Amino acid sequence: MSNSAPPAPIKGNNNNSGALFALPTDAFRVTSDDCYTPRWVFDAMGLHFDLDAAAPPGGPWHVPCDHYYTAEDDGLSSPWRGLVWCNPPYSKFRPWAEKWAEHPTGVLMGTYAPEMYATPRIMGAADAVAFVSVRFALPDGGTIKPRHGVIVAFRGVGTEPAERLAAADKFGAVLYGRRAA
C-alpha cells in the first residue's frame, strides 16, 4: 500500500474563449515563463489530445484537449493518459522530455539547440520531429521569437502530423526517427 497522495484530478477543457495557450519557457529573452503558442500549430497538426500536461493557469484555451494539468496540479508528477500534448516550462525541460519519451503517445514542443541535453533522448524516442519557425505572443500583447529553433516531437502518432506542421511553415522541415522506420 502506498503512502503517496492520490493523483491530482484532471480538469476538462471547457474554455472556448479563443485566447492563446500559455507556453512557459526560459529559452527566450524574457523574464517570465509565460509565452503563448500560436493557434496555427494546433490547426496544422490536426490532432485532438486527451491531456495537456502543462497547461497555463485557468487551463488551455485553444489546445484541442479533453483534460489538462496546470502547475498547481503538477503535471510532471501526475499520471499521463492517452495522447498527451506537452509544452513544458523550458526552465525545467529535461524531466518533462524524459517523461514524454517514456509515454507511448504524445507531442512535445521545445526549443532546439544541438547541444541541448534532452536532444538525444527526444530524437531517439520520436517517430518524427518537425522543425518550425514560431513567434510566440507574450501576455502583454508583444511577440518574441526563440533564440534557437522550435522542435515539435511526435511519438506514437505516426509521421503525418509532423509533415502537416512542417508544411504549414515556410521554413518547416521534418526529421524522421528510427521508430518510424
CA distance 47 to 83: 9
pTM of the model: 0.78
Q: In the numeric block, which cell numbers belong to residue 141? A: 500583447
Q: Give pLDDT, residue 120.
A: 81
Which is it for strands 143-144 and 49-52: parallel, antiparallel or unpaired? Answer: unpaired
H helix count then E strand count, the chain: 4, 12
Q: Give pLDDT, residue 123.
A: 86
Mean pLDDT over each residue of the chain, to the nearest integer: 78
CA distance 44 to 9: 29
Mean pLDDT of 164-175: 94
- Residue 116's pLDDT band, with cuts at 50, 70 and 90, is low
CA distance 154 to 159: 7
- Residue 58's pLDDT band, with cuts at 50, 70 and 90, is confident
- Residue 115's pLDDT band, with cuts at 50, 70 and 90, is low
Q: Give pLDDT, residue 52.
A: 95
Among the ranges given (3-7, 63-67, 72-76, 176-180), the one the predictor scored with the smallest mean pLDDT: 3-7
SS3 160: helix
Q: In 10 A of CB 146, how many CB atoms?
A: 21
